[in-house]
Amino acid sequence: MNKTAIKKKKILHTTTRLVLGGGVEKNIYYTVTNLSDEFEFHLSCGADFKDDLFVDHPEIKIIICPHLINTIHPLKDLKALWFYYRLIRKEKYDIVHTHETKASFITKLAAWLARCPYVIYGLHGVTFNDPMSSLKRKFFILLEKLTIHCADLVVAVGYDTIEEYHKENIGKNIPFQVVRSGINIGGYLRQALQTEEEKLLFRKSLGINKEDIVMITVGRFSFSKAQRYAIEAFAALQKKYCSLKFLLIGEGELLTDCKTLAQTSGIPVGSIFFLGYQKDIPRYLSISDIFIFTSLREGLPRVIVEAALLQVPVVTFEVEGAEEVLENEKSGFIVPQANADVLISKTEQLILQSSLRASFGKISHQHVIKYWDMRLMAQQLQKIYNRNIQ
């Protein structure tokens, strides 16, 4: 006798863009690919979508909303709202799980209007802490206050993010749960260079010697990532330590400005490397001695987690989520934002003390292994989904 197939519960994830590389995109990717045997997942985003992202997962349905863009555009935003209202009504999703600022504003409201049984607001950062005018900040806070009540649960990547929202009296009465943005730990470690010979050869291919101390940073070149502070710190330190090298990975609107800053700061040619976008970041981390992170705003700084996983000691500005990854002075250095003197001082300590680098790297690695496995993230979300599906 054939058993009747059990119909999977249907869940929609929404985000403004879907190009695997950022923390939000990885979060969604690991969630749906780990749980697709149990749930029917639909993913929807704007036109900024990498076509081959889910080529190996045909069971996951991709829906493009042509009206969903990152900037505020009243006409397109209304069209996107109507698009998602109709989609949610038609598909009768059991859960809508939203991500990123713009998609969350629109799809939380659409899900509420369409009377979706359960709406989850995936909170990956603090929107209103971006560098912006006071008026714009007040506008974003108002939008959050108006739309957050469309959600039944807030799932945040860290406690700092929730605290920032509660400080502004946003969503205090809405249940929340922290689910850390997981990493494919085994896969990430396998991508790293394994032997000293491999590391030496890769260093040589970049023009870096075995005895050089290598600093590295990873992130989009933008005002909020603030690589200018890292470049200025490197310029000061390189004058004292000529064997110091600096790798900068990423692209963005301020890349040209940062290259100009490096030139005007007198950094010698062959000491600083702007490497653009790189897929194989673990290879670069595995030849690095110090990870420097000068971001001014984060939700949970995923790149710090990745550096710690590969036992690269971290110096970071005090930013949301940093203290959830590192314990200051015990597994890394957390310094006041925009304080160049302290940034230089703490980085210099790591340059001079190889034993401190090793200690920070080992302790932070153990912490990440325990709390940031993507399988743990998937298990936590699985419980949330099953608990709240009617």
Please name each of the domains of the chain with its CATH number: 9-182+373-388 (3.40.50.2000), 185-371 (3.40.50.2000)
Contacts of 62 (CB under 8 A, 6+ apart): 18, 42, 43, 44, 45, 49, 54
Alpha carbon 23 to chain centroid, angstroms: 3
Q: From residue 25, how far is each of 21, 220, 353 by CA, in Å? A: 7, 15, 37
C-alpha–C-alpha distance, residues 151 and 98, integer Å: 9
Return the higher-pLDDT residue of 143 and 347.
347
- Check pLDDT > 90 for residue 299: no
In this structure, are residues 116 and 96 in contact, taking their beta carbons and an 8 Å threshold?
A: yes
State the helix-helix crossing angle for 101-113 and 134-147, rounded to 10 degrees. 30
pLDDT (0 to 100) of residue 6: 75
Q: From residue 314, how far is each of 26, 301, 324, 347, 355 by CA, in Å? A: 22, 12, 13, 9, 14
Q: What order do you get walking across the sheet with 61-64 strand by strand?
A: 61-64, 39-45, 9-14, 95-98, 119-123, 153-156, 176-178
Under DSSP, is residue 79 helix (H, G, I), strand (E, B) or coil? helix
Query: What mean pLDDT, rounded, does the chain reach?
Result: 92
C-alpha–C-alpha distance, residues 300 and 71, integer Å: 23
Q: Is the dihedral of CA 74, 77, 83, 86 positive or negative?
A: negative
Confidence of residue 20 (pLDDT cuts 50, 70, 90): low
In this structure, are residues 295 and 217 in contact, taking their beta carbons and an 8 Å threshold?
A: no
Lowest mean pLDDT among 41-50, 62-71, 294-303: 294-303
Helices (H) and strands (E) in the chain, counts: 15, 13
C-alpha–C-alpha distance, residues 369 and 210, integer Å: 28
> Euclidean distance between the first and final Cα of the chain, in Å?
29
Report, as an integer, the average pLDDT of 239-259.
95
Alpha carbon 79 to chain centroid, angstroms: 28
Q: What is the DSSP letter of 53?
A: T
Read off the amino acid at residue 96.
Answer: V
pLDDT (0 to 100) of residue 141: 92
pTM: 0.85
pLDDT > 90 in the chain, percent: 77
- Check pLDDT > 50 for residue 358: yes
Report, as an integer, the average pLDDT of 41-69.
88
In this structure, are residues 150 and 112 in contact, taking their beta carbons and an 8 Å threshold?
A: yes
Matching residue, tokens 């590192």 = 326
DSSP annotation string for 253-282: TTHHHHHHHHHHTTPPTTTEEEEE--S-HH
- Check pLDDT > 60 for residue 4: no
Name which of 147, 179, 181, 180 is nearest 165 in CA terms: 147
- Check pLDDT > 50 for residue 18: yes
C-alpha–C-alpha distance, residues 280 and 109, integer Å: 38
State the helix-helix crossing angle for 302-309 and 354-371, rounded to 10 degrees. 110
pLDDT (0 to 100) of residue 21: 64
- Check pLDDT > 80 for residue 289: yes
In this structure, are residues 150 and 125 in contact, taking their beta carbons and an 8 Å threshold?
A: no
Report, as an integer, the average pLDDT of 173-196.
93
pLDDT (0 to 100) of residue 51: 67
- Check pLDDT > 50 for residue 200: yes
Confidence of residue 1 (pLDDT cuts 50, 70, 90): very low
DSSP annotation string for 330-387: TTBEEE-TT-HHHHHHHHHHHHH-HHHHHHHHHHHHHHHHHH-BHHHHHHHHHHHHHH
Report, as an integer, the average pLDDT of 272-282.
94
Three-state SS string over 93-157 comes to CCEEEECCHHHHHHHHHHHHHCCCCCEEEEECCCHHHCCCCHHHHHHHHHHHHHHHHHCCEEEEC
